[in-house]
Amino acid sequence: MGVNNLVFLENIEWFDETGAELVHRIPEEGSGEIKYGAQLTVRESQAGIFFYKGKAVGAFGAGRHTLKTGNIPILTKLASLPWAMNSPLRAEVYMVNLKVFPNLKWGTRDPVAFKDSELGLIRLRAFGVFNLQVVQPVLLINTMVGTKNMFSTAEIEEYLNRVIVSRFNDYMGQTLDSILNLPAKYDELSEGLSDRLTKDFGHFGIRLTHLYINAITPPPEVQKAIDDRSRMGVFKDMEKLMQMKAAMAMEKASETGEGGGGMGMGTSLGLMMPAMFAQYFAGSRGEARRQPDADGSRCPECQQPVSMDAKFCPHCGHQQVVFDQCAQCGKNLTPNARFCSRCGHAVEEKPKPKSCVKCGTENLEDSVFCNQCGEKL
Ligand SMILES: [Zn+2]
Ligand SMILES: [Zn+2]
Ligand SMILES: [Zn+2]
């Protein structure tokens, strides 16, 4: 990247050879000079987002578009100088891939702390897969790029992974006293987690279509302790222990058998959520309720089905492109709103990460339990 980093853009288009890019910035190295009247070509399953002064200000669907002030109305208010024939605009375009991204992996990079009523403070690993689809590309760009300074697909995926792990940790803390009770609580845990993340991802303009917890693994010492304790017979509840052992045995079986899925579990014992549990989660319950029609979308305000190319909801009149959401109450906001019309929260005021009073670790904005030490925040 040179000092003289001027890129003049006349023809803007993007073809994703990898099929794995969620967002792509043009020009790649930052903002460029976009000529008045530049051509923007948006392919099927893409959206072209015009980004100016740290904000997504316009969205373009599939087709060929001529970029000018007239089709980006907010620009008139934001730009101090008129965008005209001989003065290009310093701006960027984000291409957003609107297809479904299947089988993205999530997992704990570092094990999360969990206060277990029977085993003490333990560290758990967990991983699984999820599917996502961007349904509000402007909102995605405004939250990820505009607010969190995340520009690449890798950064965004990394952040979403943090969100999943943090919520997983919260749900473990809230629904479970001991991992020995996990087999009995698994459904409650995965349903709660999925519902919560559906809301979380919605704030980023993303629809979470599936989420699986493939495995929750206590560290080897705990596995050994479970073994030792059972040998000594100190468990209060032998039935729980038998369930736990059964789950572990199933994991062993799945490692040697066809299952496993190459998730890098190694050979250590763990509490695997075998396919039979995952299937249940993917099954009829909840799925039908959450899954919108395959070929349509839903109004972000009233949740009624709306055709993909509608600008306004025929049921409630709400604008279909969401520019921003209230960080406090989640209300969809108009592009230039400074305060939320529902709760009065200042739009500029974004939530701050929560520092743990005990260990000082920064956790996500509204986490409930510290990932590092398991302390309630
Ligand atoms: Zn509506
Ligand atoms: Zn609000
Ligand atoms: Zn902490």
For residue 291, pLDDT beyond 50: no
Q: What is the pLDDT of residue 205?
A: 93
Question: What's the CA-to-centroid distance between 130 and ligand 2, angstroms?
Answer: 29
- If you average pLDDT over residues 10-34, what whole number do you get? 87
Ligand (nearest to CA of 306): 1
For residue 294, pLDDT beyond 60: no
- Over residues 64-96, the pLDDT tens digits come to 999 888 788 777 777 666 777 677 888 899 999
- If you average pLDDT over residues 275-281, what whole number do you get? 39
Lowest mean pLDDT among 7-11, 60-64, 75-79, 370-374: 75-79
Question: What's the CA-to-centroid distance between 160 and ligand 2, angstroms?
Answer: 23
- Over residues 108-130, the pLDDT tens digits come to 988 899 998 887 888 888 988 99
Looking at mean pLDDT, say which of 3-17, 245-259, 308-322, 352-366 comes out highest. 352-366
Q: Please give the share of the chain, as a percent, with pLDDT higher than 90.
A: 31
Lowest mean pLDDT among 37-41, 160-164, 250-254, 286-290: 286-290
> Would you give the distance in Å from CA 304 to the centre of its chain?
23
- The domains of the chain are located at 8-97, 101-291
In Å, what is the CA distance from 24 to each residue of 164, 202, 321? Answer: 23, 20, 19
- If you average pLDDT over residues 351-359, what whole number do you get? 89
Question: What's the CA-to-centroid distance between 344 and ligand 2, angstroms?
Answer: 6
Question: What's the CA-to-centroid distance between 300 and ligand 1, angstroms?
Answer: 7
Exposure of 48 in the CB half-sphere (CA atoms within 13 A): 26
CATH architecture assignment, domain 101-291: 2-Layer Sandwich (3.30)
Sequence-distant contacts of 66-73: CB under 8 A, at least 24 apart: 66/37, 66/38, 66/39, 66/40, 67/12, 67/34, 67/35, 67/36, 67/37, 67/38, 67/39, 67/40, 68/36, 68/37, 69/36
Pick from 179, 199, 205: nearest CA to 126: 179
Question: What's the CA-to-centroid distance between 266 and ligand 3, angstroms?
Answer: 29
Ligand (nearest to CA of 358): 3
Q: What is the pLDDT of residue 276?
A: 35
